[in-house]
Chain A
Amino acid sequence: MVPNWHTYWKFPGDAGIPTEINWKLPEGWKVGEIQWPIPLKLDEPGDIQIYGYHDEVLLMQEITPPASLSGNAVKLVAEASWLVCEKICIPGSANLKLDLPVASQSGSVNEEIFSRYRRSLPQNWPDTKVARSTWQREGNELRLTVESAALANYPAADFFPLPEPSVVVSHPKTERAGDGKIIFRVPIETDDKNVSALKGIVIFGQNQNGPDRNAWSLTTAVVSAAAPSMPDAFWKYLLFGFIGGFILNLMPCVLPVISLKIFGFIQHAGQDRRRILRSGLAFVAGIFAWFIGLALLLISLKSAGREITWAFQFTNPYFVVGMSAVVLVFALNLFGVFEISLPQFANRGVLGWTAKEGDAGSFFQGVFATVLATPCTAPFLGTALGFAFTQSGWTILVMFVAIAAGMAFPYFLLAAQPAWLRLLPKPGPWMVRVKQLMGFLLLATLLFLLAVLGAERGVEAIIWTSCFLLALSLACWMKGAFIIPTASATSRFISIVVVLVLVIGSGYFFIGQKFAVAKTVSAETAAHGDWQPFTPQLLESEVKQGHAVFVDFTAAWCLTCKFNEAKVLESAAVRDAFQRHGITKIKADWTNADPAITKILKQFGRPGVPMYVLYPGNNAEPILFPELLTQNLILEKLETVSAQVAAK
């Protein structure tokens, strides 16, 4: 072919038609199907994607003569027709003739070209020990998961579909989901819900359309045999969930509450063992209750077709106001402003609830600690959740239980083995001081929550929330000062009324009226330094122009994000490197749950922020960074990637 012209593969893609060869063979001769070499994937303007061949292609067919032949020679005739396109398309056809002598021994010709093209044929799907494939139908999308350690070494992987004529597919998307695990998503446009798998080939090589590519062909028969690959991976993800839950205990947002619990254990150290066990189990139950509740909520939202993501509750400003109020009340409690006591009726309990006040308190501490933990998507948790969010309701539930188990594990140990508490210091007056100190830690948490509100709703929102919090503090003080058993019934009643009026009135006025009208800070007006605010159009146009783009998916309430930004992304070394490699920096602020950003998070299989993506330019595949960044990681990747892109 003339340079840049192409003919088409068996499945031509969005346009074109495959080359056809019709044989006219003598009696008794048989011909096999065309053996199509791995095609190139070619892009044309207008998002047109085709599969075809440049320059030269050899379409092999195996011809089998009958067992015995008479005569000296045989004539094989074929009619070939093709479409060859560049800017324009020209149909072509030819009548081909081949005269072969009949002989008892075979002599081969053109061995070089045949052996060259044999090497570029897709191979049969390997043993399931080497590579496993699973198909999954999700709405209008077919998802092919290929698990193979062999693929980890190939940066370019793709799936070229070979759909049945009645099935219309759109462009497959490739997604790396871990070590040697690749997910191909193929949109199905035909309205046929029974399409559950496709034929096709899985391509892998050093780069897209490179000469060294290999391919495995996927026939639908192999697919069903490979189905039981799930459980193994599932256990692995459950383990991640457990470890992630354990690590949540160390996240800065939970630490203050956790210290409280440890402190509680110390207080009870000398006491009845069963009481310690009960209080510990109540705390553990609180952790489980929250995670199971969250799982059920997510499942119901997911089945309702909503976009769900991790820590999504923090994108709701009213949730943050509520959290601020709870944190402040806890802090005042620690300072000794008032004591938390459950109302009498709860203690008596119509259903014979015999739980002591301490147990209920422990339970809610468990819930509280866990609520605070959610915005810290710990590194392990990200993987586990990313997996869970693509799964069925049951899987999500089991996953969350695994996370809860991980988080609860240390308390369970301490509660079951209080002997280990002896390692902790003896109780004494110092405990009051520590308690007050913890109160300040909670106030620090409050500052963080207010900062989140400011980012979501602006300064005014912080002011109105603070007014509400002040009224709430006053109510707490009144509770501690006047609603006490020694006060007369009348003064207790009056105080309760005043407290209720303060809380409800200020809540209604400051939050319901003033806060509600505070303007949402749009992503465009927020200050981002030399980062450009994200819009899908900006990202698309930068990527299309072949620029290298780094996108920081962040949110005001995400501590891991803030840490990464301060320590890595804004460090002098990384800033210089970005500049040197001419990288466009885009900040995608998910504080208010921008749906355009949610969509991209989902495309990368991530349930929430942080997420860091580098588009290396020249249409190379984007690279996803882990959730905890290091300077070296970014610098190394920038070097290798820009070298690769330059080489291309």
Chain B
Amino acid sequence: MKTKLLTALLTIVASTTLFAADSPAVGTNAPDFSLTDSKGKTQSVSQYKGKYVVLEWFNPECPFVKKHYGSGNMQKLQEEFAGKGVVWLSIDSSAPGLEGYLTAEQANAKMAEWKTKQSALVLDPDGKAGRTYGAKNTPHMFVINPEGKIVYEGAIDSKATPNPSDISGATNYVKVALEESMGGKTVSNANTKPYGCSVKYK
């Protein structure tokens, strides 16, 4: 017993991950970034203060992204909320040489091909915005209210599969969050586990 106590004192303590880059918590101020979009315009979160902003992490090669664009689901959502004054920024954080990396021309071509309706497709090849937000999936969704606070973070909807046929039966968390928040309510499901491909950082 005595030696046990002594060894207890001299035992080694270990800890695995020291620095976890977690997403900023729901309810906190949305961090800012300043990046160029596919049209060459500068995009930041702060410039849209006073409006709702949706951030959508995007990778055109990811099957989960294709699920929502191929079915027209994402475009429909973008169009619906654009009509309500919501700014929608799709962000591509894939590093050059990795899956989903887009040059400005490729990005514009993809937007035309898919007939996307977002406000802008922001190019983040260094992963700056992605790491600031702790974006880990494509799609990974954030909803920011007019005061600049994050009101939703997580998945696009409730069915974590790559099958477009699952969209119809799923609850779209982003739509619910926007509707609740715009209606002056607190978002009932403000933090969900995002699903998709990992963001392809360098």
Contact = CB atoms under 8 A, between A and B. Distances in A.
Interface stretch (B30-38, B109-117, B190-198): B190-198
Nearest to B140: A15
Given A46-B136, A236-B5, A173 B15 contact: yes
Interface stretch (B48-56, B79-87, B154-162): B154-162
B26 A191 contact: yes
B180 interface: no
Interface string A197-211: 000000000000000
A14 B18 CA distance: 17
B181 interface: no
Interface in A41-61: 44-50
B131 interface: yes
B19 A540 contact: yes
A624 interface: yes
A478 interface: no
Contacts of A543: 18
Contacts, number: 152
Interface in B182-202: 190-202
A621 B9 contact: no
Contacts of A172: 16
A604 B12 CA distance: 10
Contact of A47 (B8, B13, B21, B93): B21
A68 to B, nearest CB: 37
Q: Is the interface of B mostly helix, strand, loop or mixed?
A: loop
A621 B15 contact: yes
A461 B59 CA distance: 58
A174 B20 CA distance: 13
Given A15-B136, A83-B162, A89-B63, A46 B131 contact: yes
A204 to B, nearest CB: 12
Interface residues of B, number: 54
B4 interface: yes
Nearest to B187: A191
B20 A171 contact: yes
B171 to A, nearest CB: 12
Nearest to A44: B198
A191 B190 contact: yes
A603 B15 contact: yes
B25 A624 contact: no
Contacts of A623: 12, 14
B130 to A, nearest CB: 6
B62 interface: yes
A177 interface: yes
B136 A179 contact: no
A90 B63 contact: yes
A46 B63 contact: no
A175 B200 CA distance: 30
B199 A46 contact: yes
Contacts of B98: 87
A44 B201 contact: yes
A168 B63 contact: no
A176 B13 contact: yes
27 contacts: A15-B194, A15-B195, A16-B195, A16-B198, A17-B161, A47-B20, A48-B198, A48-B201, A50-B198, A81-B161, A83-B162, A85-B198, A89-B62, A89-B64, A168-B193, A170-B20, A171-B17, A175-B13, A175-B14, A176-B14, A179-B4, A189-B191, A240-B5, A380-B9, A605-B13, A621-B14, A622-B18
Interface of A: 14-17, 44-50, 81, 83, 85, 87-91, 152, 155, 158, 163, 165-166, 168, 170-179, 181, 187, 189-191, 236, 239-240, 379-380, 383, 536, 539-540, 543, 600, 603-605, 621-626
Given A168-B192, A621-B15, 8 more contacts: A14-B198, A17-B162, A47-B136, A85-B198, A158-B16, A175-B13, A179-B4, A624-B13
Q: 4 shortest A-B CB distances, which residue pairs?
A: A46-B201, A15-B198, A624-B13, A45-B201
